[in-house]
Amino acid sequence: MYKAEVRGPLILGNKDYSQITRDIIAPIDARAPIWWKVAMGISLMAAAWGMVALYMTVRYGLGTWAVNNSVAWGWEIINFVWWIGIGHAGTAFSIFLLILRQKWRTSINRAAEAMTVFAVMCAAIFPAIHMGRVWLAFYIFPYPNTRGSLWVNFNSPLFWDFIAISAYLLISASFWYFGMVPDFASIRDKAKSKVKKAVYGLLAFGWTGSSKEWLRYEGLSYILGGIAAVLVVSVHSIVSTDFASSVIPGWHTTLFPPYFVVGAIFSGFAMVMTLMIVIRKFYKLEQYVTDAHLNAIARILVFISLIMGSSYATEVFMAWYGGNEYEMFTFFHNRITGTYTFMFWAMITCNAVIPQLMWSKKVRNNITALFIISLVINVGMWYERYNIVVTSLAKDYLPSSWTLYSPTWVEIGIYIGTLGIFITGVLLFFRFIPMIAISEVKSVLKPTSITKYTKKH
């Protein structure tokens, strides 16, 4: 029999199964609270700004951005990598913990997966929009065509990227959706209005909850989990080859694939933490997302932070040890010192130094502190991508081509827009989908619930 003696109970409060269902689908039945409406309004406005910026980009050209003939990638690629990184968490969270049979994931995985889907959607905007001729984006699809057939360049990391991201989006979305089927069924069963019944009924795929269904359901999660686990690693490794396979100092490094994957998980987990703190605060789900959950995430973060720190150190060390003068310049005169010093040290501080505070139990138990640190990490991860993308390009081989780059309102607008889209998505998720996987949470109720546990003794 499963006993969790080291870890405390995963769900607090003397809950029974129907209580759990009621608790979790309460926000779906309740009227939208004021804060939700305000937040929705703001994020829609942000998304609208993004739409205007996207319109400018497509209508007038990439000239509306500040990227130039030396720094041809700017905020759009920074934000792309940043979002993809955030989009890692959900899948990484669910899958790795699923495979490792970490039951505490059950309260969190649904939200994390939702976040993944929205983040990857936001990320996918950038590679498309950064194309000079987005209307010809389909040239990147490898399909037999009337142009020859003219095939894509299978050597190009951008093509790998396209495949990796599409595959990842597809698998994470399916994983997320299939995980929700039993919960949709629960809502359908509880729903009073006909419309709701019909909609959730459709979404529930005729789920009846038979043992056969549960068996297949479990099987499917493991299969999808297995595929997604590979993708989690591959997608960001491949994103990293966008840089690593180039010849540009600061990009051309074999460290990138693991460093990118770990970085992605880092930012993703930080974002999960941010989101979970919001959920438990606003939806009063502290008994499901307990302090222990946050504590566990914090421990993971502090560990990843150490990996990040050593990655940064390795990069700098290899630049020195490799003795390549261009790389030396990039690291020592354009990052550690030089024009872009702020970005470098912001990255170090946010990603490698501040998370170390979480060694202290006091900090780990302080929700506000955790909330702030989780935000700091995401800011830091943004700076990391800024460091990689901009500093390497701004000053590469020939000093005659060195230049500076700072974004225009259009580039900032697109970023704000994706934040808007992301938050809109998350808010809709809060409103219409059970935030916690009801069926999965129920599975961890019995052996770990404190009441049941004590009763037995």
Partner 1 sequence: MEKKYWKSLEERNDLPVENPGSRDEDASKSLLELINEEIANKPSSRRSFLKLAGFSFATAAIATSCKNPVNTAIPFLNKPEEVTPGMANYYASTYFDGHDFCSILVKVRDGRPIKIEGNDLSSFNKGGTSARVQGSVMSLYDDGGRIKNPLIGGLDTSWEMIDQKILTKLTAAAASGKAIVILTPTVVSPTTRQLFTEFIAKYPGTKVVTYDPVSASAILQANKDCFGLQVVPDYHIEKADVLVSFDADFLGTWLSPVEYTRRWAEGRRLTDNKKNISELYVFESGMSLTGANADKRFAIKPSQQVAVILNLYNEIAVASGGKTYPAPVSTVSVKELAVKLMAAKGKSLVISGINDAAIQVVVNAINMHLGNFGTTIDLGTTLNLRQGFDQDMENLVTEMNAGNVGAIFFYNSNPVYNYGDVTRFREGLKKVPFTLSFATARDETTKLCGYVCPDHHYLESWNDAEPKKDQFTLQQPTIRNIFNTRQVQDSLLKWSGSTLDYHAAIQKYWETSLYGKQSKYGSFRDFWNHSLQEGVFELPNPAWTLPEFNSTALDTAATKTHPATKSGATELVFYETIALGNGYHANNPWMMEMPDPISKVCWDNFAAIPPKMAERDGIQNGDVLYIDERIELPAFIQPGQAEGTIGIAYGYGRSETGKVADGTGKNVFHFMKAENGFRKNSISVGTVRSIGNQYKLASTQMHHSMENRPIVRETNLSEWQKKPNAGNEIHEEYEKQKFTLYKEFIFAGHHWGLGIDLNTCSGCSACVIGCQAENNVAVVGKEQVAMTRIMHWIRIDRYYSEDPQNPSVYFQPVMCQQCDNAPCENVCPVSATNHSNEGLNQMAYNRCIGTKYCINNCPYKVRRFNWYRYATNEAFDYNMNSDLGRMVLNPDVTVRERGVVEKCSFCVQRIQEKKLLAKLENRELRDGDILPACVQACPAGAMVFGDLNDPESRISKLFNNERTYHLLEDVHTLPSVGYMTKVRNRDEGKVS
Which residues contribute to the site for partner 1 (CB under 8 A)?
60-63, 66-73, 127, 130-134, 136-137, 139-140, 150-153, 155-159, 162, 242, 245-248, 325-326, 329, 393, 395-404
Q: What angle (nearest 5°) sits at the alpha carbon of residue 18, between those of residues 12 and 21?
A: 75
For partner 1, the closer of residues 239 and 301 by Cβ is: 239
Two structure tokens written together for 110: 């649904």
For partner 1, the closer of residues 5 and 325 by Cβ is: 325
Rounded least distance, CB 137 to partner 1, Å: 6
Rounded least distance, CB 256 to partner 1, Å: 15
Cis peptide bond upstream of 267, omega within 30: no
C-beta of residue 301 within 8 angstroms of C-beta of residue 355? yes
CA 176 to CA 115: how far, in whole Å? 10
For partner 1, the closer of residues 147 and 456 by Cβ is: 147
For partner 1, the closer of residues 10 and 343 by Cβ is: 343
Among 292, 295, 325, 270, CA closest to 119:
270
Among 70, 251, 238, CA closest to 159:
238
C-beta of residue 167 within 8 angstroms of C-beta of residue 231? yes
Rounded least distance, CB 167 to partner 1, Å: 16
Q: Which residues contact 79 (CB under 8 A, 6 or more apart)?
A: 123, 126, 385, 414, 415, 418
Question: Residue 133, class by beta-carbon neighbours within 10 Å (0-12 exposed, 13-18 middle, 19+ buried)?
Answer: exposed
For partner 1, the closer of residues 80 and 104 by Cβ is: 80
Rounded least distance, CB 384 to partner 1, Å: 18
Two structure tokens written together for 302: 């502090």
Rounded least distance, CB 95 to partner 1, Å: 28
Q: Which residues contact 267 (CB under 8 A, 6 or more apart)?
A: 82, 85, 86, 88, 89, 377, 378, 381
For partner 1, the closer of residues 69 and 208 by Cβ is: 69
For partner 1, the closer of residues 248 and 336 by Cβ is: 248
Rounded least distance, CB 67 to partner 1, Å: 7
Q: Which residues contact 300 (CB under 8 A, 6 or more apart)?
A: 269
CA 425 to CA 40: how far, in whole Å? 9
Rounded least distance, CB 251 to partner 1, Å: 8
Rounded least distance, CB 396 to partner 1, Å: 7
For partner 1, the closer of residues 66 and 185 by Cβ is: 66
Q: Give the three-class secondary structure for 61.
A: coil
CA 93 to CA 264: how far, in whole Å? 12
For partner 1, the closer of residues 64 and 451 by Cβ is: 64
Among 114, 14, 20, CA closest to 443:
20
- In a 13 Å sphere around the CA of 228, the CA atoms on its Cβ side amount to 30
Rounded least distance, CB 96 to partner 1, Å: 31
For partner 1, the closer of residues 248 and 255 by Cβ is: 248
Rounded least distance, CB 130 to partner 1, Å: 7
